[in-house]
Amino acid sequence: MSERATRVVAVANQKGGVGKTTTVVNLAAGLALLDKTVLVIDLDPQANATSGLGLERSPGVSLYPVLTGKADVADIIQPTPYANINIIPAEIDLAGAEIEIAREENHLAVVRREIDRVLTAGVFDYVLMDCPPSIGILMTSSLAAADSIIVTMQCEYYAMEGLSVISQLVQQMRESGVNPDLTIEGIVMTMFDVRTRLASDVVSEVRQHFGDLVYDTIIPRSVRISESPSFGEPVLFFAPSSSGSIAYKALAQEFIKRHSLPV
Ligand SMILES: Nc1ncnc2c1ncn2[C@@H]1O[C@H](COP(=O)(O)OP(=O)(O)O)[C@@H](O)[C@H]1O
Ligand SMILES: [Mg+2]
C-alpha cells in the first residue's frame, strides 16, 4: 500500500454515546489550533459532527451522492466556521448509502477510493472519520479506508465489550487483505467522573489490559462539553478554559506526538 502524507484515522465503537463524535469534533479543534489542517468526515446519518461544527444539514451534501456517483468528492468538502477544519457533512440520506454501496462490486473499497481522491490534493494533515454507532457497511467501509482507529470508551462497566468486536473486525480486514495495515492506534477514555471510584477502576482495568494503547489523556465528564454541541461549537472555542477544553487540547498534543514517533 502506498504511503499517504495524510493520516486517516477512524474514531469508532459500535456502541453509541461513548464520545466518538465529541472526540472527533474536539480533537479536530485541538489539531486546528496547533496549525494542523483537518478534514472531518461525518459518516453518521445523525450528523452530530456536522452540527457540532456549526453546519446545517443540507440535502445532497454528504458522502452519499459521492458514493452513488452523483457528485464529486471535491465539491462536497465544506469549510467550517473554524480555521483549518473542513468537513464532508452527513445528512439523513446517508442511511440509504448502506444499500447503495452494498450493490457495488468491491463495496468495502468505495469510501477508500473517494478518500484517496481527496488525499491526492495533499492539503490535509489529518482526516478524522466519525463512524456511526452500528456495524453496518458505512462503518466497515470507513475502517477499510482508515490507516488506523481510535476507540473511545466511556468510563463505565462493560466499557471493554465494544473493543473485542472492533478487534475482530480489524483482524478480518487485515487477514482478508481489505486493509492489511489497519491497526487500533489508541483508546481514549471519556466521560471520566472524578467523584466516582468506578471511573478510576475502569481506567485501571482498561490500562491493565491494553497498556500503552490507552491515551494518557483522559477526558473528564464536563457540563461544558455537553452544552457545546447545541451552539455548534467545539468546547475549545465555546468554553476555552474549561476542564473539557484543556483535556482535548492535551489529547491533540498527545495525538500529534504519537504520530510523530517512528512506528
Ligand atoms: N466528556 C463529556 N462530558 C459530558 N458529556 C459528554 C462528554 N462526552 C460526550 N458527552 C455527551 O454525551 C453524549 C454522547 O456523546 P457522543 O460524542 O455523541 O457519543 P457517540 O458519538 O459515541 O454516540 C452527547 O450528548 C455528548 O454531548
Ligand atoms: Mg456520534
The CATH number of the domain holding residue 150 is 3.40.50.300
Let me know if residue 263 belongs to a domain: no
How far apart, in whole angstroms, are the C-alpha atoms of residue 149 and residue 165? 13
Tens digit of pLDDT for each residue in 217-263?
Answer: 999 999 999 999 999 999 999 999 999 999 999 999 999 999 986 55
What number does the ligand 1 atom closest to the CA of 133 have? Answer: 23
Tens digit of pLDDT for each residue in 205-216?
Answer: 999 999 999 999
Please report the pLDDT score of residue 192 as a whole number: 96
Does residue 22's CB lie within 6 angstroms of at least one atom of ligand 1?
Answer: yes
Let me know if residue 12 belongs to a domain: yes
What number does the ligand 1 atom closest to the CA of 244 have? Answer: 1
Does residue 48's CB lie within 6 angstroms of at least one atom of ligand 1?
Answer: yes
Let me know if residue 261 belongs to a domain: no
Judged by DSSP in three states, 38 sits in strand
- In this structure, are strands 78-79 and 183-190 parallel, antiparallel, or unpaired? unpaired
Among 109, 48, 100, 55, which Cα is nearest to 77's?
Answer: 55
Residues with CB under 5 Å of ion ligand 2 are 20-21, 48
Let me know if residue 76 belongs to a domain: yes
Let me know if residue 2 belongs to a domain: no
Domain count, the chain: 1
Ligand nearest to the CA of 23: 1
Those residues whose C-beta lies under 8 Å from the C-beta of residue 143, and which sit 6 or more positions away, are 10, 12, 131, 149, 169, 170, 173, 179, 182
Domain of residue 97: give its range. Answer: 7-256
pLDDT in tens, the chain (263 residues): 445 689 999 999 999 999 999 999 999 999 999 999 999 999 999 999 999 999 998 889 999 898 888 899 999 999 999 999 999 999 988 888 888 888 877 888 888 888 998 888 779 999 999 999 988 888 999 999 999 999 999 998 888 887 888 999 999 999 999 999 999 999 999 999 989 999 999 999 999 999 999 999 999 999 999 999 999 999 999 999 999 999 999 999 999 999 986 55
Those residues whose C-beta lies under 8 Å from the C-beta of residue 172, and which sit 6 or more positions away, are 178
CA of 17 to the centre of ligand 1 (A): 6
Does residue 17's CB lie within 6 angstroms of at least one atom of ligand 1?
Answer: yes
Please report the pLDDT score of residue 1 as a whole number: 43
How far apart, in whole angstroms, are the C-alpha atoms of residue 93 and residue 87? 17
Tens digit of pLDDT for each residue in 3-18?
Answer: 568 999 999 999 999 9
How far apart, in whole angstroms, are the C-alpha atoms of residue 22 and residue 202? 20
Please report the pLDDT score of residue 94 as a whole number: 87
Let me know if residue 154 belongs to a domain: yes
Predicted TM-score of the model (pTM): 0.96
Please report the pLDDT score of residue 4 as a whole number: 66
